[in-house]
Structure formats: C-alpha cells, structure tokens
Amino acid sequence: MEEEGRIGIPRALMFYRYFPIWHTFFEELGWRVVVSDGPKKGKIIYFEDSCLPMKLLVTHAVHLKGKVDHLFVPRLVSLHRTHIMCPKFRGAPDIVRLATEDSVSIIDETIDLQIRGNSLAQSFSKIGEKLGVPKKESKRAFSKAQQVFPMFQSRWVDRINRLPSRQLFQMDIPTPLSGKETLLRIALIGHPYNLFDIDINKDILALIKSLNLEILTSDSLSEEEIDRQVSGLSKEIYWSSGREIVGSLFHFLSGGVDGVIFLTSFKCGIDALLQEFIKRRLRVRGGTSIPFLVLSFDEHTGREGLITRLEAFRDVMEQQKKRKYLG
Amino acid sequence: MKVTFPHLGTMHIFCKAIAETAGIPYIVPPETSRRTLSLGVIHSNECICLPFKIILGNFIEALQMGADTIVMVGSGPPCRLGLYDLVQKVILDDLGMHYRWLTIPPRLTWRAILKNHEETKELRKELSARNILLFPYGLWMGWKKMMACEALERLAMKVRPKEIQKGETQKRLKKALLWVDEAKTPRTLEEAVQRGRIFLQETEQDRSRIPFRIAIIGELYTVMDSYINRGVEQRLGELGVEVTRTSWFSTHILRSLRRGKGNQNAERLRFFEASKRYLAYDVGAECNFSIGEAILRSQEGYDGVVHLMPFACMPETTASGILTKVGKDWDIPILTLILDEQEIEGRIQTLLEAFVEMLQWKKKVA
C-alpha cells in the first residue's frame, strides 16, 4: 500500500497504554506511524515546571517535529462515562503547540466520553476526517484497532515479564512463549507511564527481572474489580488513573502477591494526594502483612540507589514469605 | 455540638455570623499561624497543595480546642480540591481525633442534596427548632457580612498605595473588619460598614500619587488568603501599587450556584473567551481565567500581573507554562510566585520590590 504520510506519536503519557489502538488505526489508514526515540543523552526540555512525564511529552514532541506530517497529541479529557483523566492532559496539546512554536500540525482531537452521545468510535472518525479519510474507512480502521487491543492486552503480563522494556510496545515483535521459573511475585502500581517509561523509572522492570521476580501490574486488573475495591469510600475518586491506583493497591495488598511497589512521579498531584490517603487508610485499618514500598521518581533519580532499595525489598519479601510458610 | 470551619481570608467572619445568628455553638479556629501550617505539613506530604495543609491545620487546632463538627464547602472535579475531604477525614482518623464532618455540596444536584440529607441526619437531632428556624436568617447575615468584608477590602486596595504612613491602611482595615465581625444585627452591621468606610478613607493620603496597577491572578485560596500568599496584596499596596483581583468568596459562591449574571460573571466569561487562543479547552479551576485575565489586563493598560499558585497545583502549573508566552506576546510583565511551606517572606518582598522597580524602569523607557 502506498504511504499516505507520517504520523508522529510522542512516546509519553498514555502512549504506554493506548499505543496499540493508535498504531493499528493509523496503519490501517495507510499512514506510517513514527514513534519518538526519547531525550538524547537524557536531555529534557523544560518548557514548563510540571511533572517529569509531562516534560517528557514536550521533549518527545519537539524531537518529532520536522520528521513527520502530523503530531498526534489527543486531548484526553475522559475515557469513561463518569471518570476523568488528569487535568494536566487537558492542556497538553496547547503546551505542545507552544513548545513546538506552531512548526508542526498537531492532531489534538478532544476525547471526552463524559458527554452523553460521545463515543470513542466517533472521536476516531473525527481524527480520520482531519487526515481527509472518509468516515467509512475510519470506522473500518477503528474496529480493526478495537480487535487488536484486547489481543494485545491478553498477552500483556507475558510481554512485561519476557521482553526487554524497550520492545514492549513494538507491535511487530511477538510475545515469547515461555520464560524462566520465579519464586516471588511482585505487583507494580502506578500510572502506565510511570510503570513502563524507562526515562522515568530507569528501567525498573529490567532491574526487578534481574532479581528473578515475576511482575504483575495495576493495568492488568479488570474495571469491575477496581470498582469493587474502591466502592465503599466516603467520596468517589473521579480520576480514572486514581481509581486504578487505589483499587489495585487494595486488591494486591489483600493477597496474591509477595510485595507491592507504588511508582510515583515527583510533583504528580494525583499521586501525592492518594499516596497520603492509602498510607493513612492502611494504618487506620491495622496495616498489611504484605511488604509495601513507595518509589518516587524525578529527573535526578539514580539507578544505583534504586538497585539497593530493590534488593533490600526482595529480602524483606523473602523473609515475610518464609515466616508465613513456617507460621 | 460545636461546629468549626476553615480560617481562610475573611471566611471565618461570615461563617461565624451564620452560626451565631442561628444560635448554633461554634469554635473559630485560631488565626492561621506557623503552628497551623506545621500541623498541616507534618500530617501530609510535600507535593500536596498548600491550601490543603492550612485547612488541615485549622481543623486540627479547632478540634483540639473542643470543636466536634467540621463544616467544609465541597468542591468537584477536576482538581484536587474536590477530594480534600476524602483524604483529610482519613488523616484525622489516623490521628485518633473525633469529629463529625459536614460537606456543603458545591453544586445543588439531587445526588448532593441526598448525601447532605444523610450527613445531617444525626446533626439535626441536636439542633433545636429555634436553630432551624433562624438558620435562613443566619445565612442572610453571613452573606451580608461577606459582602461587607469584601467592600472594605476593596476600598483598602485603593487607599493603600496612597497612604503616607506605611502600614496605616492595614491597621485600619483590621479594625474595620473587627467592627463588622462584632456586629450582631443588620442595623449595627450597616453602621459598622459605614464607620469602617469613613475610617479607611480618613487614612492620611497623598492623593497626587498615580499608582501602578497590578492584577493578582491564580489559584483562588492562594489569592484570597493573606497567610497563604504571605500578604502579597498588602506588600504590593505598600510599594505604591493599586491591586485588583477578581477572586472573592462571593464570586465563587455565585458561580457555583450558577447565579449572578451581573458584572462579575460577565467579566469572568470574557476572561474565559480570551484564554481560548492559548488554551482550547477548560482545564478546570482558575487555569483558563488566569490566562484570560492576564491578556485582558494588558489590553486594559495594567502595568503588570502577579500570578499566585501553590507548589504542585495541577491547573495552575499548566497556566504558568502558558503565561510565560502570554507575557511575551502581549508585552505585560508577569511575576509567578509559587508558594509552599517554606519561610519565604523575605524572598517575596525582594521579588516584589524588584518587580515594581522594573515597572518604573519600563515606564521611563517608554
């Protein structure tokens, strides 16, 4: 098929969840998807004084300009009927536009499923419209993307455990069938970009795998399970990501794993508030027998300190497991 | 039952008026101090916004003084304000404090009223028929006092840059607000306002001075509470600047009731429209208004803008990124002050002095 043009997708923020959908959609329409490599030599562009994930979005976008016909930075307001995304996402396309100084066309379609009558399919056909694609074509491409996504997700845990972090979202690399046996299971909790962006977490996945631990992540739980876990709170948490973090934490801390790590970005408003909530609630409820660690990342986080903490955490997990086994 | 409420800006004056008039026992938290802030800081973490810490500190101090029922105005998505109560409750639980919590719904929806009904079920048993009967009158009194405080504060903003004795206006304003606070009936309140107005205007002034005009924009609690912003309004006034702001309790209450098609609301609508060329979507809280107001103030011939935000505030972080561009495009100096628990009074004073000097220099060159 002849190439229509190039779409640039910054490897940042919700790329780390929805890339399979975006990739399939644009490729089906005959557009070539170009993903940014990331900051060269760790050089981050400081356009605004926000959290690290947001700064990385700007950095990736600036690297892509000039190499692509359009940048894809959707305005993700809400991807659920009643829950919303981080408020910073609402201004993300505008920040990117200012940072790239209008030198590249940006597809910034607003996706807001809170509004009655809006649907994801509709939003995508609007994105197609901007590329001059007939509605029918967009519809076909989107339904293809919708088929691919659950297939991709069903193999997600295997991918995390058996592929190097860089290859997780390379769609042409198949999921390996088997891996080595591990003794301990660890749950990683956080926004998808904190879990999988190696520029944020210094490739914590590789470090954990080298300690011979099996990884589970917060994004593998079903929405029903999350809803069940956060149902009885005195006030509903309205951020999708916040619900996922609190819900999966309660889920994993009630059993099934040997340790839980909560990965946060420094200056993330949602994480800061919920971290306090989680900590206090656990204390009020009499604590947990499962080891729990909070790791906060920013651009100064070093790999060595991380290794030490992870090794110590594994020792705690091992002891705890032995104690349970004996007692 | 002893109710309490946050000590933000002049909020304690009108909250007290409501309780007092309706005959409900209350405790006013001590004026926000270093201790209040420390309590808030110890019991939260570094990236939680400053208003959260101050309010938490107010509540802890009030509960220690014997209050048992916390009344707090709720808020909603998308920023963290809407979940303050969820987290503050669990923090107080963890501290082993006993309290009851009453959230006043920010928007009058059926769901909110129902939830409110549930929350107040127990409380209503403790209220006498007299309390309930007098409550609407209390609300009215509270509203009147709020408007009175705001009128006096507005007047002080005009008088301050022209005062001859530095700090005179602030002293007089404090006294005038005290008179308002002490008034018990509509008639004495009316008298207190009149007396306060005259008292403020009697400040010895140099009326020939033409002050700079600066608009204060940003996160609402930070703009409205002089402890959170370390007295930016007063400091600027005393440097000879006439300050304007559009964040008042009345603005936000009217907005949440979706009322007040008056001037205030029309003005905010204009700000929102103006922000659209930089920000194509409503980010929430004050973000869009901050950007729009900066643009319009430059067109109105203001000399500068001071942008206030708590550290790590989500909507205002987006705004501050865009404001740098706005300042360049519209040739208006913008000073962003990020506030947290550190003792930065000295630094703020220096920054403001430098800012005003820069304005003088700019005027001379032009």
Q: Residue B114's pLDDT band (boundaries 50, 70, 90)?
A: confident
Which of A84, A91, A275 minimises the CB distance to B318? A91
Q: What is the pLDDT of residue B75?
A: 79
Q: Residue B268's pLDDT band (boundaries 50, 70, 90)?
A: confident
pLDDT beyond 60 at B330: yes
Distance in angstroms (rounded) separating the CA atoms of residues A303 and A8: 30
Q: Considering all CA atoms of chain A, what is the largest pairwise distance in Å, rounded to the nearest integer? A: 67
Q: Residue A40's pLDDT band (boundaries 50, 70, 90)?
A: confident
B73 shares a domain with B221: no
pLDDT beyond 70 at B108: no
Q: Residue A186's pLDDT band (boundaries 50, 70, 90)?
A: very high
Q: Percent of chain B, pLDDT > 90?
A: 79
Distance in angstroms (rounded) separating the CA atoms of residues B143 and B229: 25
Tell me which residue has tokens 């009147």.
Answer: B144
For chain A, residues classed under CATH 3.40.50 are 6-153, 167-326
Residue of A nearest to B319 (CA): A91
pLDDT tens figures, A280-316: 999 999 888 899 999 999 988 889 999 999 999 999 9
Q: What is the pLDDT of residue A88?
A: 94
**Listed range (A170-174, A303-307, B97-101, B258-262) with the worst mean pLDDT:** B258-262
Q: What's the Cα-to-Cα distance from B320 to each of A145, B97, B289, B304, rounded to whole Å?
A: 37, 38, 12, 15
Collapsing DSSP to helix, strand or coil, B97 comes out as coil
Q: What is the pLDDT of residue B263?
A: 63
CATH number assigned to the domain comprising residue B243: 3.40.50.11900
Degrees to nearest 5, angle at CA A191 with A187 and A196: 70
pLDDT tens figures, B9-48: 999 999 999 999 999 999 999 999 999 999 999 999 999 9
Q: Residue A2's pLDDT band (boundaries 50, 70, 90)?
A: low
Using a CB-CB distance cutoff of 8 angstroms, which residues of chain A are in contact with residue B85?
Answer: 234-235
Residue B261 within any structural domain of the chain: yes
- What would the mean pLDDT of A54-65 be, rounded to a whole number? 94
What type of residue is A142? F
pLDDT beyond 60 at B328: yes
Is B332:B294 a contact under the CB 8 Å cutoff?
yes
Residue of A nearest to B338 (CA): A49
B149 shares a domain with B62: no
What type of residue is A136? K
Is B251:B217 a contact under the CB 8 Å cutoff?
no
Q: What is the pLDDT of residue B266?
A: 82
Q: What is the pLDDT of residue A1?
A: 54
DSSP B294-318: HHHHHHTT-SEEEEEEETT-HHHHH
Q: What is the pLDDT of residue B262?
A: 60
Using a CB-CB distance cutoff of 8 angstroms, which residues of chain A are in contact with residue B338?
Answer: 49
Could you tell me which of B161, B310, B326, B181 has the C-alpha nearest to residue B244? B161
Residue scoring higher pLDDT (B366 or A204) = A204
Residue B10 within any structural domain of the chain: yes
- Tokens at residue A72, please? 């894809």
Sheet holding A259-265, edge to edge: A213-217, A184-189, A259-265, A292-297
Distance in angstroms (rounded) separating the CA atoms of residues B142 and B136: 10
Name the phi and psi angles at B217, rounded to 5: -125, 170
- The minimum CA-CA distance between B322 and chain A, rounded to whole Å, is 7
pLDDT tens figures, A88-118: 999 999 999 999 998 999 999 999 999 988 8
Q: What is the pLDDT of residue B260?
A: 52
What type of residue is B41? V
Tell me which residue has tokens 């306060």.
Answer: B196
Length reported for chain B: 366
- What would the mean pLDDT of B153-158 be, rounded to a whole number? 97
Q: Check CB contact under 8 Å for B86 and A237.
A: yes
Q: What is the pLDDT of residue B123?
A: 77
pLDDT beyond 90 at B285: no
Distance in angstroms (rounded) separating the CA atoms of residues A211 and A165: 15
B152 shares a domain with B54: no
Asked if B97 has any chain A CB less than 8 Å from its own CB, the reply is: no
Architecture of the domain spanning A6-153: 3-Layer(aba) Sandwich (3.40)
List of E strands, chain B: 3-4, 69-73, 100-104, 212-218, 241-245, 304-310, 334-339
Distance in angstroms (rounded) separating the CA atoms of residues B312 and B184: 41
**What is the rounded average pLDDT for all residues in chain A?**
93
B283 shares a domain with B267: yes
Could you tell me which of B31, B26, B38, B36 has the C-alpha nearest to residue B10? B31
Number of H helices, E strands in chain B: 15, 7
What is the rounded end-to-end Cα distance, in angstroms, of chain B? 62
Residue B133 within any structural domain of the chain: no
Q: What is the pLDDT of residue B261?
A: 54
Residue B137 within any structural domain of the chain: no
Distance in angstroms (rounded) separating the CA atoms of residues B273 and B277: 8
Q: What is the pLDDT of residue B117?
A: 76
Length reported for chain A: 327
**What is the rounded average pLDDT for all residues in chain B?**
92
pLDDT beyond 70 at B259: no
Domain span at residue B191? 144-208
Q: What is the pLDDT of residue B264?
A: 66
Asked if B329 has any chain A CB less than 8 Å from its own CB, the reply is: no
Residue scoring higher pLDDT (A3 or A28) = A28
pLDDT beyond 80 at A164: yes
Could you tell me which of A89, A178, A268 has the C-alpha nearest to residue B282? A89
Asked if B191 has any chain A CB less than 8 Å from its own CB, the reply is: no
What type of residue is A318? E
Residue of B nearest to A110 (CA): B281
- What would the mean pLDDT of B104-110 be, rounded to a whole number? 73
Residue scoring higher pLDDT (B152 or B112) = B152
Task: Give residue A166's Cα distance to chain centre.
Answer: 14
Burial label for A121, CB within 10 Å (0-12, 13-18, 19+), is: middle
Q: What's the Cα-to-Cα distance from B153 to each of B54, B190, B250, rounded to whole Å?
A: 22, 16, 13
- The minimum CA-CA distance between A267 and chain B, rounded to whole Å, is 6
Distance in angstroms (rounded) separating the CA atoms of residues B99 and B172: 37
Helix (H) or strand (E) holding A9: strand A6-9
Is B7:B31 a contact under the CB 8 Å cutoff?
yes
B161 shares a domain with B15: no
B292 shares a domain with B361: yes
Distance in angstroms (rounded) separating the CA atoms of residues B34 and B258: 36
- What would the mean pLDDT of A206-210 be, rounded to a whole number? 95
Q: Check CB contact under 8 Å for B82 and A75.
A: no
Residue B50 within any structural domain of the chain: yes
Residue B8 within any structural domain of the chain: yes
pLDDT beyond 70 at B201: yes
Residue A214's contacts (CB-CB under 8 Å, 6 or more residues apart) are A161, A182, A184, A185, A186
Among B177, B193, B208, give the residue marking a domain's end.
B208
Is B298:B330 a contact under the CB 8 Å cutoff?
yes
Among B208, B239, B262, give the residue marking a domain's end.
B208
**Listed range (A294-308, B33-47, B101-115, B348-362) with the worst mean pLDDT:** B101-115
Residue scoring higher pLDDT (A40 or A53) = A53
pLDDT beyond 90 at A41: no
- What would the mean pLDDT of B251-273 be, rounded to a whole number? 77
Scanning A150-209 for CB atoms below 8 A from B yields none
B269 shares a domain with B191: no
Asked if A130 has any chain B CB less than 8 Å from its own CB, the reply is: no
Burial label for A57, CB within 10 Å (0-12, 13-18, 19+), is: buried
B182 shares a domain with B152: yes
Residue B132 within any structural domain of the chain: no
pLDDT tens figures, A21-32: 999 999 999 999
Residue pairs between chains A and B whose CB atoms are closer than 8 Å: 121
Tell me which residue has tokens 């989680």.
Answer: A278
B278 shares a domain with B240: yes
Q: Residue A37's pLDDT band (boundaries 50, 70, 90)?
A: confident
Q: Check CB contact under 8 Å for B87 and A277.
A: yes
B184 shares a domain with B306: no
Could you tell me which of B25, B35, B24 has the C-alpha nearest to residue B60? B35
CB neighbourhood size of A230 (10 A): 20
Distance in angstroms (rounded) separating the CA atoms of residues A25 and A131: 12
Residue B135 within any structural domain of the chain: no
Distance in angstroms (rounded) separating the CA atoms of residues A9 and A29: 15
Q: What's the Cα-to-Cα distance from B280 to each of A93, A98, A108, B152, B253, rounded to whole Å?
A: 9, 12, 10, 37, 26
B219 shares a domain with B366: yes
Degrees to nearest 5, angle at CA A273 with A267 and A276: 115
Q: What is the pLDDT of residue A325?
A: 81
Decide yes or no: CATH 3.40.50 for domain A167-326: yes
**Domain count within chain B:** 3
**Listed range (A90-94, A130-134, A315-319, B261-265) with the worst mean pLDDT:** B261-265
DSSP A216-284: EEGGGS-HHHHHHHHTT-SS---BHHHHHHHHHHHHHHTTTSSEEEEEEETT-HHHHHHHHHHHHHHHH
Using a CB-CB distance cutoff of 8 angstroms, which residues of chain B are in contact with residue A87?
Answer: 78-79, 283-285, 287, 314-315, 318
